[in-house]
Amino acid sequence: MSASSLGHRRAWYKTLYIQVLIAIVAGVVLGSVAPETAKSMKWLGDAFVSLIRMMIAPVVFCTIVNGIASMGDLRKAGRVGIKALVYFEVVSTLALLVGVVVAEIVHPGAGFGADVKTLNPAAVASYANAAAKDSVVAHIVGIIPNSYLGAIVGGDLLQTLLVAILTGVVIAGLGEHAAPAARVVETLGRIFFGIIGIVVKVAPLGAFGAMAFTIGQYGLASLGNLAGLVATFYLTSALFVIIVLGLIARFTGFSIFRFIAYIKDELLIVLGTSSSETVLPQIMLKMERLGASKSVVGLVIPTGYSFNLDGTNIYMTLTTLFLAQAVGAHLSFGQYVTIILVAMLTSKGASGVTGAGFITLAATLAAIPDSPVPVAAMTLVLGIDKFMSECRALTNLVGDGVATIVVSAWEGELDREKMRFALANPNAVGEAVEAEPLDHAI
């Protein structure tokens, strides 16, 4: 790939990330000066997220199936899957531990003095009810859809992963006999990516509506006494990305800062919509442009959306300990261990949907034996969860991208020349991906 193959640079105002950035600033301004009008813009953000979400399950299904089928060798597919899961579990566990360590050092909830008796459990009843259904057995059984198409129609990411993996394994096992089916899946994938390419053009409107509503509804002043927790979470996530993921990136042969600059378009869309699902197709295309093999991208990115949630893991342990400190509760060593183990389970499947992190927090609190921290304590952070969801999604996205490059390198399928060029020319590559979504879909 050369600079000339990426075409001429477009005017700055036609670049998607510039448009999204302007939209986010406009949303903040509107939310600050006309909150009631800003709150009425919520439908723009909801509509954009819904347009993207309607395509996520079909895109994941096609990319997983095509990724496994294109490998041909089922042993290779299994090897890539195992490497990815091992990486996910190790790094996700580090994220959980980072949240615990920071909470114990900073003590963001110290001196809050919340009285458990005055907390209103009704405010978080819906989250608590959802968490109550999230037992270990229910979690496992919930992965199995009622029907083959039910997983895709229902949009459940874990169920879609299961169906896609089974389908891909069978197609790969049948070889040439299943070639027509593989071509159909590849064609459908191109169609779905094409639809995403059209929908993403309205990302600035979605980012504007979502940000305007957030500021109009909660206001910057709503952070109040909880600003310390928000700041601690953002700083912790930033340090995790720079230090932990930065070291992983360095050992793999690239700079985490150049990587962040490379995916800035996607990060800005996530910042505006609070959901990493809105950029799943684009991040997959970007990873291919970065030199990762299509088969690895097709397996690692969709799987990472359910199993590699670094930002969500930091949030769960940090916020759990914040709430314990806020109500003056003392946790035993066994309860600390339980928090980490439960969070390792509940975080799986908490994909980039806004509010999913809050439900997993409720599940974690409910599972702590003899917990001195009631689920009702979540009311303390209910008003600021929207501000924290952006950071969760941003951290999750960076983590998934790094994981894809690492697994590709482990497989010996990372084109380092391509990676060096892409990282040195992020704007040009981003414009090419935006302009030609169909040519690089699957």
2: in domain: no
What Å distances lie between residue 284 and 93, 182, 301, 312, CA to CA? 24, 19, 7, 21
73: in domain: yes
For residue 301, pLDDT beyond 80: yes
Give pLDDT tens digits for 323-335: 888 877 777 787 7
The CATH number of whichever domain residue 236 belongs to comes to: 1.10.3860.10
105: in domain: yes
Look up residue 255 and give its two tokens.
């700079």
Closest CA to 365 of 329, 393, 389, 311: 329
442: in domain: no
Give the contacts of 394 (CB within 8 A, at least 6 positions apart).
237, 267, 270, 271, 276, 311
d(CA 3, CA 80): 32
382: in domain: yes
Residue 197 pLDDT: 75
Could you give the percent of the chain with pLDDT greater than 70?
A: 74
441: in domain: no
Of the CA atoms within 13 Å of residue 49, those in its CB half-sphere come to: 21
When the pLDDT of each residue in the chain is averaged and rounded to a whole number, the result is 77
3: in domain: no
Strand runs labelled E in 197-341: none
Give pLDDT tens digits for 109-137: 776 655 555 555 554 444 445 545 555 56
Which structural domain range is residue 326 located in?
Answer: 8-435
d(CA 255, CA 264): 14
The listed range with the strongest mean pLDDT (10-19, 46-55, 223-232, 235-244) is 235-244
Q: Which of 92-101, 185-194, 332-341, 360-369 has the lowest mean pLDDT?
A: 360-369
Residue 441 pLDDT: 43
* The model scores a pTM over 0.85: no
For residue 100, pLDDT beyond 60: yes
Distance of CA 392 to the CA centre of its chain: 7
Name the pLDDT band for 341 (thresholds 50, 70, 90): confident
Give pLDDT tens digits for 377-428: 776 676 667 778 788 889 999 999 999 999 999 988 889 999 999 898 877 6
How many domains does the chain contain in total?
1
Closest CA to 282 of 293, 297, 271, 296: 297
Q: What is the CA radius of gyration of the chain?
A: 21
d(CA 328, CA 309): 29
Residue 284 pLDDT: 85
d(CA 222, CA 213): 14
